[in-house]
Structure formats: C-alpha cells, structure tokens
Amino acid sequence: MRAKDSLGRRGEDLAAGYLAAAGIEVIDRNWRCPDGEIDVVGIEDGTLVIVEVKTRSSLDYGHPFEAITPAKLARLYLLASRWKQSQDRRFAGFRVDAVSILDDGAGNPVIEHLREVTP
C-alpha cells in the first residue's frame, strides 16, 4: 500500500472513531457508486450525515479543508442523494460534514470537524 493510501486510511479510521465518540453513529464507510465515493456515512439524531475526510501529514500543501473545492462539495451533495436512494429508510434530513486530520506520524493527530458544510 502506498504511503499516501495508508495515511488516508489511517485518517478515515481516526475520523470514524472521533465521530462515534461525538455521538454520530457510523453506518457505512467508503461507499462507492459510479459518481464517486463517500468516506463516512453516519446518523445523528435521525439526520443523515455524509462526511468527507481529508488527511495530511503536514500543512506544506495547505490545510486539509482547502482540498474541499466547490466542485467536490457539489459532488458530495449528489452522492448523498445517491446513497439515500440506495436505502430503504427515511431520515429527518441530511447534511455534509468535513473532518480534517493532521497526522505527522508522531502519535498526536489533530482532528477538526466542520458541521454542515454548504456550497
């Protein structure tokens, strides 16, 4: 596995644990369809939560949240719709969140969570 892929997987694992500890029930991870991938799918108080996880080992190329462009955000809203269509359950609503992980490998990752990211 490439170092970048390993870092990304570690970041998604950290994000899923963080979200669960914050009260968001993680119900799906790495869901794919022809339009793209959702990193984490969760439920909080009946609301569907679609989560984009961005992991970096440093800020050399900018903050992880900077990688969430308007086009990426629009795709996440499309993917949320696709995921909901693939399910037999209803939700009180949905939102898109983002989690940033800065993990330099020293054992103290910094996790930030943005709720309700809008285009």
Record the pTM: 0.92
30, 42, 118, 28: which is closest to 74 by C-alpha? 118
3-114 is a CATH 3.60.20.10 domain: no
Domain positions in the chain are 3-114
Which pLDDT score is estimated for 104? 85
Which pLDDT score is estimated for 69? 94
Which pLDDT score is estimated for 5? 74
Which pLDDT score is estimated for 107? 82
Backbone angles phi, psi at 76, to 5 degrees: -65, -40
- Cα distance between the two ends of the chain: 33
Which pLDDT score is estimated for 1? 57
Q: Any residues with CB less than 8 A from the CB of 30 and at least 6 apart, and which? A: 12, 37, 38, 39
Series of mean pLDDT values for 10-residue runs along the chain (119 residues): 77 96 97 96 96 95 94 95 92 94 89 92
